[in-house]
Amino acid sequence: MTADKGEFKRDQNYLADRITADGRDGWPVEPGRYRLVIARACPWANRASIVRRLLGLEDVLSMGICGPTHDQRSWTFDLDPGGRDPVLGIERLQEAFFKRDPQYPRGITVPAIVDVPTGQVVTNDFKQMTLDLSLEWRAYHREGAPDLYPEPLRDEIDDVADKVFRDVNNGVYKAGFAGSQEAYEEAYNALFARLDWLSERLANQRYLVGDTITEADVRLFTTLVRFDAVYHGHFKCNREKLTEMPVLWAYTRDLFQTPGFGDTIDFDQVKEHYYVVHRSINPTGVIPAGPDLSGWLTPHGREELGGRPFGDGTPPGPPIEGEQVPSLAA
């Protein structure tokens, strides 16, 4: 949606119920009770799939995967046999929102967590969702799970994440969906100013906050990994490609090659979503053949900066059956 000045305005009113250890919103953490619904294409949903992998919650929080495209009504489960989610039994995520509120007036968004017994969406508040997976689901984390939101660093993580959201995560959308030259240039300038700031910050430290991977890195990664495939061309964020920003390209490759990050990325689905769904920007629906993906697995050299990806923890195991993505390895 755009305002009078042609600025893209994201509707940030979400179902804000929380699934907590004490169940104070009526939704207690329970293994097997809830289903996380994502789409591989979506950067906001990608955050949840990464955090779930890093924390090892696969056995207690199942995951449904929508296809890469959707219509005006809803994301759909067209990747599943018969076009239905095998656990929820629905064709459209919209059905779970309407179970919660038959008059639900807002967009049907991923990620969403659905209460399996009732079929109702509990929350689609993607910002709070990943924090709660770290804090409220702690009793079910795998042995060796990293602390993605360490208490001493939370203020700094929040500050960096807010800047990244405003200018980068949402900034690419503000550029891509701008309805005026003025609004586009304002978003474009803010985006690249922030990317320059991030490059300077990361030039001498391996991760955004502290010496381990945190929530802040997860949030930045999901935009940067999509940058050359869609945002550079499709959203006109074309001062430089990610591959032309040496620090950020090495940083993103470092994370991509870290278990739990690159093994959640399906570039074909990412491209199909943006170029097919956004017909106001790409009326033909033609999907680009590029970019070349071979560089993602090349050495990045970031180990020289020190840092411990998982702190005192360990990497997650390989993706479980049914959740693998195409490998870039030759």
Residues marked active site are found at 42, 173
CA distance 34 to 60: 8
- Residue 325, both tokens: 């993505």
Using an 8 Å Cβ cutoff, are 129 and 40 in contact? no
- Residue 1 parent element (H or E): none
* Cα 247 from chain centre: 21
Of 2, 4, 6, nearest to 186 (Cα)?
A: 6
CA 309 to chain centre: 19
Residues tagged in the binding site annotation: 75
The CA distance from 123 to 114, in Å, is: 7
Q: What angle do CA 271, 226, 295 make, to 5 degrees?
A: 100
DSSP letters spanning 79-106:
TSGGGS-TTT--SBTHHHHHHH-TT--S
Burial class from Cβ neighbours inside 10 Å (0-12, 13-18, 19+) for residue 301 reads exposed
Exposed (0-12), middle (13-18) or buried (19+): which is 157, by Cβ within 10 Å? Answer: buried
Maximal CA-CA distance, the chain? 55
Cis-peptide, bond into residue 150, ω within 30° of zero: no
With beta carbons less than 8 A apart as the criterion, state whether 130 and 218 touch: yes
Binding residues for glutathione: 75
